[in-house]
Amino acid sequence: MLQIDRPIYEAMIVAGQAGYPLEVCGLLAGHNGHITHHYPIHNIRQSPVAFEMEPKQQIETMLTIEAQGRQLLAIYHSHPNGPAIPSATDIAQAYYPELVQLILSLKERERPSLRAFTIIENQVDEIPFSVA
């Protein structure tokens, strides 16, 4: 089961709130399903309904994660005004099927909602996670 360190969970919420009303995104790393590091990436779309990671920053971050001896475990992004479920665009653009997709809904800004999914060949499956 995926485990997220509480400071990482809180950092995603802070990033989502700071970027509101636009989608924010980033990479999450750690070891063996345990997320211990948060890497925010600039959303070049600057959109409330879509994200695209800045390519150079994304690649540099992936190289940094590898150089630090960590595993890239997940991609996260926010849905500022929608539910924490993958959109049709999220499903179509799930280019890393080996990674967990975390979606943070800020529809209720006082009560953010985070859900985790795998998206493999357009098949979406919710997966459990814990925050500790």
- Sign of the four-CA dihedral 37, 106, 53, 46: negative
Question: What's residue 77's pLDDT?
Answer: 98
Query: Phi and psi (nearest 5°) for 70?
Result: -100, 165
Question: What's residue 48's pLDDT?
Answer: 97
Question: What's residue 115's pLDDT?
Answer: 98
The angle subtended at Cα 83 by Cα 82 and Cα 84, nearest 5°, is 125
Q: Helices in 34-117 by DSSP H: which ranges?
A: 55-67, 88-92
Give me the active site residues, please.
23
Query: 29 and 39 in contact (C-beta within 8 Å)?
Result: yes
DSSP for 30-46 reads: EETTEEEEEEEE-BTT-
Query: Based on the structure, what is the number of domains in the chain?
Result: 1
Q: Which CATH number covers residue 98? A: 3.40.140.10
pLDDT digits (tens, 9 = 90+) for 1-28: 899 999 999 999 999 999 999 999 999 9
pLDDT digits (tens, 9 = 90+) for 46-69: 999 999 999 999 999 999 999 999
Binned at pLDDT 50, 70 and 90, residue 84 comes out as very high
Question: What's residue 87's pLDDT?
Answer: 97
Task: Please list, in sequence order, all residues whose beta carbon lies within 8 angstroms of the beta carbon of residue 113, skipping any fewer than 6 positions away.
Answer: 83, 84, 104, 105, 107
Q: Which domain holds residue 25?
A: 2-131
Q: What is the mean pLDDT of the chain?
A: 97
Binned at pLDDT 50, 70 and 90, residue 101 comes out as very high
Query: 121 and 97 in contact (C-beta within 8 Å)?
Result: yes
